[in-house]
Amino acid sequence: MKREDAIKLDIELKNLVVQERAASARVIDHMLTMFATEAHIALGWDSLFTYLVKDVGYSETAAYHKLRVMELLRKVPEVQSMPGHSMSGLEIVGKLTRDSSPRETLKVLEATAGLSVREVEGKTREILNLPPPKRKIVIEAAQENHALWKEVQDKLVHLSQEEILALLCREFLEKDTNKKKSEVSRQSPDARFFGAVLNRQAKERSACCEFVSEITGKKCGSTYGLQIDHRVPFCKGGKTTLSNARVLCPAHNRFLGGRGGR
């Protein structure tokens, strides 16, 4: 894609996002008015949630999110004039400050302006002294693997499932670390692909995508699905060595591959 076309698309998308945020703010304003005037009840609905789902057409999840933001604005009206908050960020604050006073909630809002959603959650929990969130793990296992898990549980009956999982993970990582310390790459520099040792060493050197945009100068920095690629393409004589390795996310590996690796 040409530089000017990419810049044009970037500007157009950002303008649309500004419009979307403004529209979302107006939706919340209308919800506040509807709640205050009980217009939804006059229209025959027993709750604003039911109205949003059954008549407006929101999914239940989206309706809950909108209502959390609305309740936050009812508790702390000042948030309407506070810049730097996305709807997703406000929803997180609303969820975590349900039992907090307006003063505490305002303190959280002031401290989380301009942060990403993940940062908002972490900062809010820090200010309110809330425990870290627990993450749910759901695994589908073959019958024989399920039997192995049950056997482990029976032998470690004094531990919870979470504690057993943590124990097994720590033991594996400890063994893996000791194994890696003794690893030495014996791979030929003329090999087509990077082996396990060079792959690991490259990712230890750079734990995120190294791609830098020629248009904006922005480094990608993604940590998702990292792959190892040749800086000097293999087809152009590049060697399969650590010095010629670069870390890329799948998207930028494909992107550079389509340009001949440049």
Domains, the chain? 3-128 (1.10.10), 196-258 (no CATH)
- How would you write 149-180 as a 3-class SS string? HHHHHHHCCCCCHHHHHHHHHHHHHHHHHHHH
CB 198 within 8 A of CB 245: yes
Helix axes 117-128, 87-96, angle to 10 degrees: 20
Amino acid at 98: R
Please give the chain's pLDDT, 262 residues, in tens: 788 999 999 999 999 998 998 999 999 999 999 999 999 999 999 999 999 999 999 999 999 999 999 999 999 998 888 888 889 999 999 999 999 999 999 999 999 999 999 999 999 999 999 998 888 889 899 999 999 999 999 999 899 999 999 999 999 988 877 776 666 667 888 888 998 889 989 999 999 999 999 998 999 999 999 999 999 999 889 999 999 999 999 999 999 987 765 4
Q: How many residues does the chain have?
A: 262
